[in-house]
Structure 1
Amino acid sequence: MGVAELDSFDRDVDLGSWGLGGIPVAVALPLLTATSWLLSVGATSVLAVYLPSGPAVGLLRLAVPVGALLAAWLVTRMVVRGRHRRFSRELKGSCQAGEARGADGITLT
């Protein structure tokens, strides 16, 4: 039907300002979401097991998701930067100026 293109989801989103540029949004945001969720659930479980219940622990449990999101953003940013560096190094090493190579390594002219 031509309503939406295959790569239209990544076209208008610039994650570079968040430090997550260089990989598709469809990879960066699920990685951020999964990491944040795992950290939040893990930290809340640790609080439930090791700290007695009370108002201070209740406030701490409210702060856990915010801290987990910040920690997940840092982890995702490190992963994205590492992947971006690796891919850019591979691209520089595989192609010389003015030369293109196919997936099998054969020079295309």
Structure 2
Amino acid sequence: MGEFLNAVLEFPTVLFTSLLVVVIAYWLVVLFGGADADSLDADVVDGDVAGGFGGFLGSVGLGGVPATVGLSVLVLVAWFVSLAGSTVVDGALLSVVLLAVALVVAWLVARVLVVPLRRLFPATSGDSRTAFVGRTCVIRTGTVTETFGQAEVTAADGSSAIVQVRQTGTDTFTAGSTAVIYEYDPDGEFFWVVPAPTDPTPGQRELS
């Protein structure tokens, strides 16, 4: 028992141990009714979740499940890999390498597990993804390309969401500029945008 405690409190496992404690505490609160489990659907990470962290998870291929679920899987796998690796790794340099390996393995495993989990969490609460088509949004990244970009869009109910956006042309987008969403790509789980002709209030002007 003492060796186990030493292992979980050593670097790099201790980093994931702290996060794992938070994750376990959260799910205990949900289990005993301290949080509304039904609200998980509102946090589905498909690029449409409000908040930069959800947008980040969606951008690394963990879209389609609640942010809490994706984060829980990442932490659990990373903790296990780090703990197992610490039994054969010794030295500061190798510990840093183990930290990187644990993060990569956790990401790979999470991506595999997310696929079947997506069927349990359809992103249909509030405005559906296609309902954002035709609405204006505010770019939140320094640029938008064919492979990168995020924007904030306001739904019909007044709530805001961070979505993944892309463009097909060579238009110039900067953080804070306004764009119009004209199409949703279900395979890539992102929206195509073009520069807005004017600068209306985000989400209030629809594509004509």
Band of TM-score, shorter chain: 0.5 to 0.7
Q: What does residue 155 of structure 2 align with?
A: none
Partner of 1:76: 110
> Aligned partner of 1:65: which letter?
L
The aligned length equals: 74
1:33 to 59, 75, 95: 75
What 5-or-longer segments of structure 2 have no aligned partner? Answer: 1-35, 44-48, 121-208
Question: Aligned equivalents of 1:59 and 1:17: distance in 2?
Answer: 30
Structure ID, larger Rg: 1
1:69: how far off?
0.5
Q: Deviations over 1:69-107 (max 9, x none)?
A: 1110010011002322xx28xxxxxxxxxxxxxxxxxxx
In the alignment, the residues of structure 2 paired with residue 58 and residue 31 of structure 1 have an alpha-carbon distance, to the nearest angstrom, of: 26
> Which structure dedicates a bigger proportion of its chain to strand?
2
Q: Give aligned-pair identity as a percent.
A: 34
- The one-letter amino acid paired with 2:60 is W
| Structure with the largest fraction of helix | 1
Q: Deviations over 1:35-68 (max 9, x none)?
A: 10110111011225xxxxxxxx431122101110
**What's the RMSD between the two structures over aligned residues?**
2.5
Q: What is the alpha-carbon distance in structure 2 between the residues aligned to residue 23 and residue 67 of structure 1?
A: 24
- The 3-state SS of whatever aligns with 1:47 is coil
Q: Which amino acid aligns with 2:116?
A: G
Q: How far does residue 18 in structure 1 lie from its aligned partner after superposition?
A: 1.1
Gaps of 5+ in 1: 49-56, 89-109
Q: Residue 68 of structure 2: SS of its match in structure 1? A: helix
User: Normalized against structure 2, the TM-score is what?
Assistant: 0.32
The aligned amino acid for 1:79 is L
1:66 maps to 100
d(CA) in 2 for partners of 1:16 and 1:81?
Answer: 13
Q: Which residue of 1 aligns with 2:19?
A: none
Instruction: State how far apart, in whole Å, the 2-side matches of 1:71 and 1:60 are.
Output: 16
Separation of aligned partners in 2, 1:33 and 1:75 = 11
